[in-house]
Amino acid sequence: MILNITFAHLTIVLATIFNTKGLVDGPPPTVLNFILTILFLVLWFSFGIFRGRERKKSFLIFAIIFWAIALGTTFIVMHLGPNPLVMVNFAIMAPVNGFMFLEFMRSQLFFAAMFLPLIITCIGYLVGLKIISSQNNL
């Protein structure tokens, strides 16, 4: 469980540091922000595969709870306006902020993009399970 928490914390902190351009005010996100967003998703996918190959169900539970709390917090902040949860919201939105580089993502589709880390992580975990079950069948 410590590995899961460390990975989540590290990736969120790094994404918040490097991928916040255009998140609040200022210039819109660039191609670099888009690449960082893709890299963030690849990291979570890869870690999901790694944990799936280890058959760590605790990781899948952790990932679902982690991203559900993140999404819930985001929706609360967006509907309540300014409040203390805004800083948490920045940390959650920063990883997918690069999608704002794409013009069509600047509308309500950005909300859908916030579900991608959860979906990608779960798919990675299932791919990891599939890899291990394929190896066992040989």
CB within 8 Å of 117: residues ≥ 6 apart: 40, 41, 44, 67, 70, 95, 96
Confidence (pLDDT) at 25 = 65
Res 71: pLDDT: 83
Query: pLDDT tens digits, the chain, 138 residues: what are they?
Result: 899 999 998 998 888 888 776 666 667 778 888 899 899 999 999 999 999 999 999 999 999 999 888 888 877 777 776 767 666 677 777 788 787 777 766 666 666 777 889 999 999 999 999 988 777 776
pTM recorded for the entire structure: 0.85
Q: How many CB atoms lie within 10 A of CB 71?
A: 16
DSSP 28: P
Domain ranges of the chain: 2-137
